[in-house]
Amino acid sequence: MRPGSDFLTALNSGDETPGPPRYGTWWSPCDTFINPDDSTVLRGAQNTRTTCLSHTALTTDATVYVQVRDFVNP
């Protein structure tokens, strides 16, 4: 899963958001697990950059919770 690898190139070669579902991503510029940070961004999705949160804090942050809840149930 290294940037520029054959695996990621093949994975990203098609439609990143196929079909009728809405897609959403949330990412933090301070996530030390995902590098580069903005690699979670998908063409055709609602991509949300959060404040400076750790990877695990994304799952417990109240603001992110409300954003995800509202995205899932508009």
Long-range (24+ apart) CB contacts under 8 A made by 47-51 are 48/24, 50/26
Q: For the chain, give the number of residues.
A: 74
Residue segments in the chain with a per-residue pLDDT below the cut of 50: none
The H-or-E segment that residue 74 falls in is none
Tell me what pLDDT residue 3 has: 79
pTM of the predicted model, to two decimals? 0.81
Residue boundaries of the structural domains of the chain: 21-72
Contact between residue 53 and residue 73 where contact means Cβ atoms under 8 Å apart: no
Which pLDDT belongs to residue 71? 98
Per-residue model confidence (pLDDT) at position 13: 87
pLDDT at 12: 79
Residue 36 pLDDT: 87
